[in-house]
Amino acid sequence: MLSTGKGRTTCSYFLPGDSTILYASTHLAADTCPEAPRAYQGKYVWAVHPEYDIFVADMKGNVLRQLTNEPGYDAEATLSPDGSQIVFTSTRSGDLELWTMNTDGSNVKQVTNELGYDGGAFFSPDGKKLVFRASRPKAEEEVKTYKELLANGLVQPINMEIFVCNVDGSDLKQITHLGGASWAPYFYPNGEKVIFSSNHHTESGRVFNLFSIDLNGENLEQITFDPTFDAFPMFSPDGKKLIFASNRNNGDTRDTNLFLADWESQ
């Protein structure tokens, strides 16, 4: 175990050299885990714990540095291919926005600034772009609900689309307009397409499969077809393997496991 064993931890990622890791943790606030409700006033929600900060630890579990120290949620950190920058989600501006910083925690910059949950970001293989999931509440009732939930440390992840932008936030584009929840995006090894998880194709909204789409929002293609939950796809650095999480083969339980597949270039 590389975390402290205290609080909640999430979103771990190797730093250059594979001798240190990033992760987010609430252990400074309390030894116990903050509660994570599955529902709020009948709504399915995710918890956005304001106690989260981002840390660097070695492979023995020693915390070497605390990279964030602002009030509110700091988590969902991933690393640029050249190992120089981190992208993460933070509420330090009052909303769930994307931010970047150097790997020592310096040079913090805000990337997105539109109302809604921006998260789960990854760099493109050339390090010039970001892909992420986002909600964009527009109607008055949607905005009211979003702000009420966020004030209680919650988000309702039922309406999300996939966006891409330059690392500085410029040239922001919404590349899916599917409805439902499209999320967990990751760039193809060539940087020209994105793979992601979505439930837009099912009436119940309970089945998530993997899809791909071009960066201009064209050529949507379904990748997996099982009647359960597939998400969190990521390619190996050489582009030959795909790893993803799935609820298939779990004996009708709620267990989620990891699956590895050969990737045949198209």
Give the residue-averaged pLDDT of 32-54: 91
DSSP 145: H
pTM of the model: 0.96
Which pLDDT band holds residue 36 (cuts at 50, 70, 90)? Answer: confident
User: To which H or E segment does residue 5 belong?
Assistant: none
pLDDT tier at 266, thresholds 50, 70, 90 = low
For the stretch 73-97, pLDDT in tens is 999 999 999 999 999 999 999 999 9
Q: What is the pLDDT of residues 162-185, one digit of tens each?
A: 999 999 999 999 999 999 999 999
DSSP letter for 43, please. Answer: E
Alpha-carbon distances, residue 249 vs 77, 184, 209, 215, 234 (angstroms): 30, 21, 15, 33, 20
Q: What pLDDT is recorded for position 39?
A: 86
Q: Tell me how far CA of residue 81 lies from CA of 100, 126, 128, 168, 233, in angstroms.
A: 14, 7, 10, 16, 17
Q: Residue with structure tokens 């931010």?
A: 99
Residue 217 token pair: 């929002």
Q: Which CATH class is domain 1-174?
A: mainly beta
Residue 117: count of CB within 10 angstroms of its CB = 27
**Average pLDDT of the residues in 18-47:** 93
pLDDT grade, residue 38 (50/70/90)? confident
The three state secondary structure string of 183-199 is EEEEECCCCCEEEEEEC
User: Could you give the CA distance from residue 139 to residue 237 in angstroms, rounded to a whole number?
Assistant: 41
Residue type, position 25, single letter? S
- Residue 144 in 3-state DSSP? helix
The rounded distance, in Å, linking the Cα atoms of 7 and 209 is 32
